[in-house]
Amino acid sequence: MAVAVKTILDQARHTLVDTEKTFWIEEELAGWYNAAILAVIAARPDAHAKQLVLNCVLGTLQQLPADALRLIRVLRNEGADKRSITEMDMALMDSSRPDWHSQAAPVGVAQHYIYDQRDPKNFYLYPAVAAATKVLISYSYVPPQITPAQVPTAQMPIDDVYYNPVLDYILFRGFSKVGKFVQGGDGRARMHLISFNEALGIKMQADQAMR
C-alpha cells in the first residue's frame, strides 16, 4: 500500500516541532519532498522504473525517452525474434571492433547494448540496427512533482521501503535551514543526511547479497 505524502510531511513537521505550520510553509516541505524523491531515484534508479518498447533509429546510437533519467537495462528484441540483448563494455567494443559504428548493412536484431553512465540519456546497439527496429528497455524516470494543493491526496510514487530515507532527506533540509539559529540544528541536519545515505547504501548491499 502506497504511503500518503501527507503522512510523511506530518511526521516531518512533528519532528521539526512545527505542527502548526508557523515556521516551515507548505511550499517548502512539498519542495523538499520532491527533492527527496529525486535524490532517492538518483541513488537508486530502480526505485522508479518502467519498461518500454523503443522504436530505434538507424544506426548504433539510440536515445532514451524524454522522461528518462538513465537506462537500467536493454532486455531483448521485440520483433518476431525476441532474442536477449546482453551488455557489452564500450572499451572492449572500441578495441576489438573499431569500426563498429560504421557497419554497412544495418540489421533488424540487436545482439549487444553499450551504456556509458557519463552519457545517461543515450545508449548504443550492436550491430547497427535498421530504423524502426524494436527493443524492450527498462529505465528510471522522473515522477511528476507535487504541489502543496496535491499533498492531501498524493501518494509516494516509489516503494514504501523508501519512507525513512525520504523523511530523513526532508528533515535534513529542514534542520539545515535553522542550523545557524537553533542550537544543535546543524548536528541534526548532518545526522539525517547520514541516515539517508546509509539507508540507501544498506539497501544496495542487501540487494547485491541476494543476487
Q: pLDDT for 84-108, tens place per residue?
A: 999 999 999 999 989 999 877 899 9
Say yes or no to pLDDT of 82 above 50: yes
33/52 Cα distance (integer angstroms): 27
- Please give the pLDDT value at position 187: 83
Find how far residue 32's CA is from the centre of its chain: 17
- Phi then psi for residue 91, to 5 deg, are -60, -40
Say yes or no to pLDDT of 79 above 60: yes
**Mean pLDDT computed over 113-131:** 95
- Please give the pLDDT value at position 185: 56
**Mean pLDDT computed over 77-85:** 94
Share the mean pLDDT of the chain.
89
Nearest CA to 62 out of 12, 137, 157, 146 is that of 137
- Please give the pLDDT value at position 210: 38
SS3 124: strand
- Determine if residue 132 is left, alpha or beta; phi over 0 gives left, psi from -120 to 50 gives alpha, anything else beta: left
Torsional sign, CA 5, 173, 149, 11: positive
- Please give the pLDDT value at position 202: 59
73/117 Cα distance (integer angstroms): 12
199, with CB counted inside 10 A (0-12, 13-18, 19+), is buried
pLDDT digits (tens, 9 = 90+) for 56-69: 999 999 999 999 99
- Please give the pLDDT value at position 181: 54
- Please give the pLDDT value at position 54: 97
DSSP string for residues in 27-56 = HHHHHHHHHHHHHHHHH-GGGSEEEEEEEP
